[in-house]
Structure 1
Amino acid sequence: MTILLFFLAHWYLSLFSQTFFLHRYAAHQMFTMSKGWEKFFYWVTFITQGSSFLSPKAYGIMHRLHHAYADTEKDPHSPSYSTGLFDMMFKTKDYYNNVLNDRANIDPKFLKGVPYYKTVEKLGDYWPVRILWGTLYTLFYMKFATNNWEYLLLPIHYLMGPVHGVVINWFAHKYGYVNFKVNDTAKNLLPFDFLMMGESYHNNHHKLGGRANFGVKWHEFDPTYPVILLLNAFHIIKLKRNNDLNYM
């Protein structure tokens, strides 16, 4: 039970950082926050993603490119231009590293307003730090695991950020239903998104790229949106009310 609770906590805390900070803030700027709170959420992202920390800078730029060039050769991660799931993952990794290390020739319009906190960006990408996180996860399992099968969950801890990414970038472009006609293969993976905190409403998001609430129909509950409303009510963030098209 301890291991399952730890896994679920890591899954959802890491996922919250990805959908709230990397996706809705860094990529789409659906809300604003002070530089102090931006640094705070940088640290939250580093702690919750751990060994699989994803740079808000690189993530934001790549996701903007994904919206602009979805399912074309310029898309950083498209199943339509990959031979399989792992091929897409490795291509995404290479593209990510090029963007992270400023080796990609990116149109300046995709760089506008992307957050950057050098301390956490460098620390999170430092391989000894990634290995340290992985070691801590392993030691936790060695202490609390009661069945051998529980160790099968460890690789997901190591690669939590990319795992979350591939659930949407691969499966939500292949399976699911659509509410809107869009110029790509984005689909809503789940009718009730208990798994991805709203991220699986991918078709909705590709149609309404600046909308902070990813759910549209009555049954499409976006668990991240009430948190956004709460943070907005406490003036930690300032939600933009004109959630129209943004990097579509």
Structure 2
Amino acid sequence: MPFDVLEESEIRTAATAARPIPADTKPQITLGRKAQSGSIAWITTIVMAVFHLGAIAALFMFSWKALICSVVLWFYASNMGIGMCYHRLLTHRGYKVPKWLEYFMTIGATLSLEGGPIFWVATHRVHHQLSDHEGDPHTPKDGAFWAHIGWILCGIALHDETAVLARYAPDLARDKFHVWLSKWHWLSLVVVAFPLYWIAGWSGIMWGIFLRVTLGLHATWLVNSWTHMVGSRRFETKDSSRNSFVLAMFTGGEGWHNNHHAHPVSARHGLTWWEFDPNYYGILLLKKLGLARDVKVAHWDPANPKPAGVA
């Protein structure tokens, strides 16, 4: 199956597009612990506490129907939603799909309770631009706890600040659906609670929402923290990103983080046959079905193992 090889010029172009657009008239934000840790985001903190307590309670409410519901929603929300859509499609534009499919995948991502598309994409683009430097929203250089969850619990909540975040995600801010979903991103969890209750009762809600969401959040947060502290480095990037086999198994391939920071536009993060990358396999399936095109793939040359954009 032929693929489009990811050229360094394409990576530079995409990276430039992800930078803040220089418009002094637009509001600006400052991220990182130095700027954001002065206060506690109480609403977010309370919601996180409730979900963690719900996840513990779910362990005492097991049913096979609830387990099946949570597994199905995990693939839709975490793999297709966060990994394939928020990350590789919307943030880095590693491939293209029809708008109806993009919207369907984006709705799935909101079921992970990681914020709306504009918030997630803008935050991640800032992370790549300033990775492990001042202004990075969640660098472990500001502390492991900060990188994992502290950055979520402290500072200013920006989920609904479309006008501010548009500076970092202008492509999404021009799309009315993404703007609307960014404001009402939590609504999908409320809607999905009804069929979960109909299928598996309260255990369906506890497993399909509280336990699944909590585990999914920690999986994403571990990519922010763990893969900037522990693991191997194939590429000498300008940050501390690392590859983690264990986390890649748990996140559908997102744990190949050093590979990703070296080749951010690549829809493929696992660069060798043994680097398991289910999210990429999902993209290949979409391509096979004629639903994905312009799939950008970085090919690692062991004889010249340089990151993207390095001469």
Provide TM-score, normalisation by structure 1. Answer: 0.76
Q: Which amino acid aligns with 2:78?
A: L
| Pairing 1:223-234 to 2, within 5 Å after superposition | 223-234=278-289
Query: For 1:97, which of 159, 178, 184 is the aligned residue?
Result: 159
Aligned partners of 2:202, 2:188: CA distance in 1, in Å?
22
Q: Cα gap change, 1:126/1:153 in structure 2, threshold over 3 Å: closer, same or farther? A: closer
| Pairing 1:217-228 to 2, within 5 Å after superposition | 217-228=272-283
CA deviations over 1:133-188 (Å, ceiling 9, x no partner): 58549847972649xxx968863435566333202111222222222222212111
Q: Which amino acid aligns with 1:29?
A: R
CA deviations over 1:41-61 (Å, ceiling 9, x no partner): 334444xx16x1532222222
Aligned residue number for residue 138 of structure 2: 77
Larger radius of gyration: 2
Q: Kindly indicate whether the alpha-carbon contact (under 8 Å) linking 1:2 and 1:144 is maintained by their aligned counterparts in 2.
A: no
Query: For 1:238, which of 278, 293, 309 is the aligned residue?
Result: 293
| 1:28 correspondence with 2:92 | yes
Q: Kindly indicate whether the alpha-carbon contact (under 8 Å) linking 1:168 and 1:202 is maintained by their aligned counterparts in 2.
A: yes
RMSD across aligned positions (CA): 3.6
Q: Kindly indicate whether the alpha-carbon contact (under 8 Å) linking 1:62 and 1:76 is maintained by their aligned counterparts in 2.
A: yes
Q: Which amino acid aligns with 2:159?
A: N
Aligned partners of 1:23, 1:220: CA distance in 2, in Å?
18
Query: For 1:129, which of 187, 204, 207 is the aligned residue?
Result: 187
What residue ranges of structure 1 are gaps of 5+ in the alignment?
none
Aligned residue number for residue 19 of structure 2: none
Query: Could you tell me how far 1:32 is from its partner in structure 2?
Result: 1.8
CA deviations over 1:55-113 (Å, ceiling 9, x no partner): 2222222211111100112112222124623323324x846437x4323584xxx4353
Query: For 2:169, which of 108, 111, 114 is the aligned residue?
Result: 111
Aligned partners of 1:115, 1:230: CA distance in 2, in Å?
29
Query: For 1:6, which of 64, 69, 72 is the aligned residue?
Result: 69
Query: Could you tell me how far 1:241 is from its partner in structure 2?
Result: 4.0
Aligned partners of 1:141, 1:226: CA distance in 2, in Å?
30
Query: Could you tell me how far 1:227 is from its partner in structure 2?
Result: 1.8
**How many residues end up aligned between the 2 structures?**
235
Aligned partners of 1:137, 1:125: CA distance in 2, in Å?
23
Deviates more, 1:117-126 or 1:219-228: 117-126
| 1:188 correspondence with 2:235 | no
Q: Kindly indicate whether the alpha-carbon contact (under 8 Å) linking 2:119 and 2:182 is maintained by their aligned counterparts in 1.
A: no
Q: Kindly indicate whether the alpha-carbon contact (under 8 Å) linking 1:15 and 1:161 is maintained by their aligned counterparts in 2.
A: yes
Q: Which amino acid aligns with 2:115?
A: L
CA deviations over 1:204-240 (Å, ceiling 9, x no partner): 1011112211112332121122221221233212124
Q: Kindly indicate whether the alpha-carbon contact (under 8 Å) linking 1:191 and 1:220 is maintained by their aligned counterparts in 2.
A: no
Query: Could you tell me how far 1:29 is from its partner in structure 2?
Result: 0.5
Aligned partners of 1:90, 1:243: CA distance in 2, in Å?
35
Aligned residue number for residue 86 of structure 1: 149
Aligned partners of 1:132, 1:105: CA distance in 2, in Å?
26
What residue ranges of structure 2 are gaps of 5+ in the alignment?
1-63, 300-307
Q: Cα gap change, 1:38/1:141 in structure 2, threshold over 3 Å: closer, same or farther? A: closer
Query: Could you tell me how far 1:33 is from its partner in structure 2?
Result: 2.6
Aligned partners of 1:176, 1:96: CA distance in 2, in Å?
31
Relative contact order, CA 8 A, sep 6+: which one is greater?
2
Q: Kindly indicate whether the alpha-carbon contact (under 8 Å) linking 1:172 and 1:188 is maintained by their aligned counterparts in 2.
A: yes
